[in-house]
Structure 1
Amino acid sequence: MTTTVPLPVPAFPRRLPAAEPQTPYEQYVYAYPHQKAYRLLEDGPLLSDLWSAERLDALSLYVHVPFCEMRCGFCNLFTRTGAPEDVTRDFLGTLERQARVTRRALEARGEEIRFPLAAFGGGTPTYLTAAELTRLCDICEHVMGADLKTSSWSVETSPATATADRIAVLAERGATRLSIGVQSFIDEEARAAVRPQKREEVEVALARLKAAGFPILNIDLIYGIEGQTERTFKVSLDAALAWEPEEVYLYPLYVRPLTGLSGRHAATPEDWNEQRLRLYRYGRDHLLSAGYEQTSMRVFRRVGTAALEDTDGSGISEYNQQAGMVGLGVGARSFTGELHYTTDYAVAVPEVRRIIDDYIATPTARFERARWAFRMDGGERRRMYVLQHLLESTGLRVADYERRFTTRFKDDFARELDALLGKNWLREQAGTLALTPEGMAWADAVGPMFFSSRVRDEMSSYRDR
């Protein structure tokens, strides 16, 4: 195998710390930097050059399916509702063209290519018909070379689209984790979140998933819905637990610009923050007492459940960003050590439709280069590493950080460290820095404290569309 030469690590740039957190719910940090920090490159690099220094036998494949049957009131994901058959057909055709170009770029070095990890996200991948899901799996296997039968492979679904024929395809092709967005088992709360569904439909979908025997069933719930109380939240928690899922994710409700709930939430920010914190603590304690362990602010895994394995055996985390991720489909991101790249991004319905149409019409040769991107440097790689570890319950091993970057963590992040220790949001024990229970409750405020000035400036200048 070719020896990978480490990228140079420039001196770490100093900056003033982020302002004192005013809310526990500043931003959900699932990858760094956020897509709003990406910009269009005039002459983007060739993918073959970008991937020439990456390890190719431990890649992860991510496919973004930008379609849903409905847009929930809280949703700001890159997705289109009600796409007709000709659009999904043409999308898959373009995705196959993109996959062929990407595969050639990966093969340029002449080394073995393996995908131990795979994920279909969106959107709702099961918006595709059973036949379309079969074609998508064929593209991943026959074009990209992924062995889905042996990969750890996650798929997102919804109650309305978890039909018997779709689930049968995923089970037969070897999916190992199915995640279903339920949000609430109470019909009135679902309507308040602008998610028109009936509990009966949810239960039928869960029965199908359970019967299919996927190794990991994950159920997503939301707290902070208007009118939601500990009593009503317990109804949803207990309804989810009745299905004995291997994982339960608890998401705080966010109301973002250009979403269905924007401007409709009646509670004052102070009251709403208090409600969400109260419900978070209740849900956390309820799941812990039911035999689950907390691995991050959102993730609870049943004790004894094997995590979906990653390439080094440490397990998939909620923070799903890692070097070596190859993204396919409009809205998918790819991560190399030097560059993070994707396609154009928007939330507003007209812009999303335009971007999907543009993707479908993209000339094949254009897929040879990265276009919308963010260039990483030593400082940004440090911040990404910190967020990947500090937001997880296992914490950050200081020695690992300093061995990787050859600088002292306490020097690089002295102000952030002092602030977190001063608030009792962080503890240091046996060389590991980990969030305290209260720090974990404020994880969506802790994460942004480590954003660079460069990323903050790019995000603030992004125009929501």
Structure 2
Amino acid sequence: MEQKQWGVYVHIPFCRQKCFYCDFPSFAGRERYMKEYIRALCQEIEVRGSSYVRRWGNPATIYIGGGTPSALPAALMEQLLLAIGNVFCIAGEEVEFTVECNPGTVDAAYLAMMHAHGVNRLSFGVQSFDDELLRRIGRIHTGEQAVQAAVMARAVGFSNISIDLMYGLPGQSMAELKAGVEQALSLQPAHISIYGLQLEEGTAFARLQEMGKLDLPTDEDTEAMYDYMTEVLPANGYERYEISNFARPGFASRHNLSYWQDLPYLGLGAAAHSYLEGQRWEAETEIPAYIDLIKSGQSPFKLEEPATRAIAMEEFAFLALRTTAGISRQRFEQKFGCSFDSVYQQAVQRLCDKGFLVDDGDAVYLTKLGMKYGNWAFEEFLLF
């Protein structure tokens, strides 16, 4: 058996309500499929999960995302966790086992059940603690529910808790943002993620923007929000390890780091993506079609268009640059069989001259300014 560092992603495509900014493959009003979906998903975990355990050993990380995994009734979540536990060894803290949760869908009993079945990390999609702002962006929880969810999680035994916050939201003021950050810090989570609003095609917010009905902060205000968050979080003990992610020492998300470090992962469930042996795969997105494929013993996955060598180099660079560790020259050469400088020397020099990049000889990584204007920096790593 080849021992390999790899991860598992499990997709739950259900939501109580679709957030107005969300373009993820998730669906509201499909609860009628939940039982059949979990049955099919457990079957896929048994077949495909077992296959990779036999080949590579146990995964280092497991991540249940969505959608809203905690929208599953407790009995179905328990069924899923039992199936995962039957295939993957999840005892102790060796495997980082994360579940995404909406604060409005959990209670103490639900959280305790997950903890009892090996989940050791929770990621709460809080976004804001301001009730009016939450309503405006389509979230189903309140600020008080977010506070209570974190308190309950700690009470039932979770020490690794992450909170997501958003900035640049419609009608959001700097005062509201600061109040939210202060509330998050008071809860002392191990990890905080910050995301600026992106208007994605096909979302409710994108349609409102097209109609001129979306009251967004100015670019200057959004930039000030970003500057505030990237200064106050490190000042309070949260080390920045990726453009949008901050953690107390020892609590960086190992699963997300595996994406940025070009490590393989197995995706399970409808719309899940896999990255295996240098190839990217995508599962059937529609829930009924996914269930039918699993029932009939067919693979729900199709191979995405194979990446050219140039695209593979670009992806490697983009992903690594998101982290504070940056691009390792040694890892680049090991993967592509050529020196990093033979491909990117001029791009690196241009970015260093602009103050966007640091080159220490072993690696190149973004400066604080480079992280702020990451998209401009990434453009330099495109190979035409």
State TM-score, norm by structure 2. 0.89
Gaps of 5+ in 2: none
Structure 1 92/322 Cα, relative in aligned 2: closer, same or farther at 3 Å? Answer: farther
Counting only pairs closer than 5 Å after superposition, residues 58-77 of structure 1 correspond to structure 2 as 58-77=5-24
1:282 shift after superposition: 0.9
**2:273 touches 2:282 (CA, 8 Å); kept in 1?**
yes
SS at match of 2:204: coil
Higher relative contact order (CA 8 A, sep 6+): 1
* Letter aligned with residue 158 of structure 2: F
What is aligned with 1:78? 25
Aligned counterpart in structure 1 of residue 287 of structure 2, from 337, 351, 356: 356
Task: Give the drift of 1:166.
Answer: 1.8
1:104-162, Cα deviation, whole Å (9 max, x unpaired): 6447xx656312211101111111111111110122122x3343544211110011112
Sequence identity percentage: 24
Equivalences for residues 78-117 of structure 1 within 5 A: 78-84=25-31, 86-103=32-49, 105-106=51-52, 111=55, 113-117=57-61
Q: 1:381 Cα deviation (Å)?
A: 3.2
Give the SS at the match of 2:103.
Answer: coil
User: Post-superposition shift, 1:320?
Assistant: 5.4
Distance 1:69 1:412, change over 3 A: same
Alignment of 1:432-447 (within 5 A): 432-447=363-378
Partner of 2:241: 295
CA distance in 2, matches of 1:400, 1:112: 21
Q: Does 1:331 align with 2:277?
A: no
Shift of the 283–414 alpha-carbon distance from structure 1 to 2, 3 Å rule, reads same
Determine the structure 2 residue equivalent to 1:350. none
Cα pair distance change 1:151/1:270, threshold 3 Å: closer
Matching of residues 43-442 of structure 1 within 5 Å: 55=2, 57-84=4-31, 86-103=32-49, 105-106=51-52, 111=55, 113-142=57-86, 144-147=87-90, 149=92, 150-265=94-209, 272-302=218-248, 304-309=249-254, 316-317=256-257, 319=259, 322-345=262-285, 355-364=286-295, 367-368=298-299, 370-414=301-345, 416-442=347-373
When residues 166 and 422 of structure 1 are mapped into structure 2, their CA distance, relative to the original with a 3 A threshold, is: same
- What's the offset of the Cα at 1:89? 0.4
SS at match of 2:205: coil
1:300 partner amino acid: F
Q: Give me the whole-angstrom Cα distance separating, in 1, the residues matched to 2:358 and 2:213.
A: 33
The CA deviation string for residues 434-456 of structure 1, in whole angstroms up to 9 with x for no partner, is: 11111111224434554566xxx
Whichever residue aligns with residue 246 of structure 2, its letter is F
Superposition deviation, residue 242 in structure 1 = 0.4
Q: 1:402 deviation in Å? A: 2.6
How many residues end up aligned between the 2 structures? 381
> Counterpart of 1:362 in 2: which secondary structure?
helix
Q: C-alpha separation between the residues in 1 aligned to 2:358 and 2:182?
A: 32
Q: Deviation string for 1:323-365 (max 9, x for gaps)?
A: 43111100111111232101244xxxxxxxxx11111121545
Deviations 1:35-91 (A, max 9, x none): xxxxxxxxxxxxxxxxxxxx455331111001111111111111011332x411000
Instruction: Specify the code of the residue in structure 1 equivalent to 2:204.
Output: G
C-alpha displacement at 1:195, in angstroms?
Answer: 2.2
CA distance 1:210–1:448, change in 2 (3 Å): farther
CA distance, structure 1, for counterparts of residue 33 and residue 125 of structure 2: 24
* Structure 1 residues 211 and 449: CA distance shift in structure 2, 3 A: farther
Is the CA contact 1:118–1:148 (under 8 Å) kept in the aligned structure 2?
no
State the superposition RMSD in angstroms.
2.7
CA contact (8 A) 2:357 2:367 kept: yes
Tell me which moved more, 214-223 or 286-295: 286-295
- Paired with 2:281 and 2:180, the residues of 1 have a C-alpha distance of 38
Separation in 2, partners of 1:408, 1:57: 25
Distance verdict in 2 for CA 1:211–1:251, change over 3 Å: same
Give the 3-state SS of the residue equivalent to 2:110 in structure 1: helix
Change (3 A) 1:116 1:126: same
Change in Cα spacing, 1:452 to 1:93, as seen in structure 2 (3 Å) is farther
- Determine helix, strand or coil for the equivalent of 1:317: helix
Name the SS of the counterpart of 1:233 in structure 2: helix
Deviates more, 1:73-82 or 1:404-413: 404-413
**AA aligned opposite 1:64:** H
Counterparts of 1:197 and 1:103, CA distance in 2: 34
| Distance (Å, rounded) in 1 between the aligned partners of 2:11 and 2:219 | 32
Secondary structure of residue in 2 paired with 1:78? coil
Mapped partners of 1:434, 1:409: distance in 2: 13
After TM superposition, what 4+ stretches of structure 1 lie above 6 angstroms from structure 2? Answer: 267-271
- The C-alpha deviation readout for 1:281-339, integer Å capped at 9, x for no partner, is 1111111221221112211112x3443557xxxxx528457443111100111111232
Native 8 Å contact 2:241 2:323 kept in 1: yes
Code of the aligned partner of 1:324: P
Answer yes or no: is the 8 Å Cα contact 2:260–2:322 preserved in 1.
Answer: no
- Kindly state the Cα deviation for residue 433 of structure 1 after the two structures are TM-superposed: 1.0
Cα distance 1:337–1:111, how it changes in 2: closer, same or farther (>3 A)? closer
Cα drift, residue 190 of structure 1: 1.6
Unaligned runs of 5+ in 1: 2-54, 311-315, 346-354, 454-465
Distance 1:320 1:435, change over 3 A: closer
